Amino acid sequence: MLKTFLLFLVTAVAEIVGCYLPYLWLRKGGSAWLLLPAALSLAAFAWLLSLHPTASGRVYAAYGGVYIAVAIFWLWWVDSIKPTRWDLFGAGLCLAGMAVIMFSPRPG
């Protein structure tokens, strides 16, 4: 379970960084050179998703819950905006959904 969660965590960071760097270029006047590490980060994101041993649709659905929680942490850490209790509650619900999808018993 911990390995799966950590893999999702690293995957979410790769996706967020891959999307945040173009945002810095487009909206904050950053260098176009930011697109190179962004592309590498998004390639790493896709590769990391492929490392899960279960069906891709299940992985994508469950990963969404971890992504949301990491995005709320990013809001706090990078954007310096303290999450509301509703942000945290919503992220907790998403993590609970991820756990149900990934760790519930399966037949066969």
Which residues, at least 6 apart from 9, have a Cβ–Cβ distance to it below 8 Å? 66, 70
Which residues, at least 6 apart from 79, have a Cβ–Cβ distance to it below 8 Å? none
Amino acid, res. 13: V
What is the pTM (predicted TM-score) of this model? 0.86
Domain residues for 34?
Answer: 2-103
Amino acid 35: pLDDT = 97
At 23-72, the pLDDT tens digits run 999 999 999 999 999 999 999 999 998 898 788 888 888 899 999 999 99
Which residues, at least 6 apart from 50, have a Cβ–Cβ distance to it below 8 Å? none
Amino acid 72: pLDDT = 97
Answer whether residue 108 is part of any domain.
no
Q: How many domains, the chain?
A: 1
Average pLDDT over residues 83-96: 97
- Check if the beta carbon of residue 16 is closer than 8 Å to that of residue 74: yes
Answer whether residue 91 is part of any domain.
yes
Answer whether residue 90 is part of any domain.
yes
Task: State the burial class of residue 63 (Cβ atoms within 10 Å of its Cβ: 0-12, 13-18, 19+).
Answer: buried
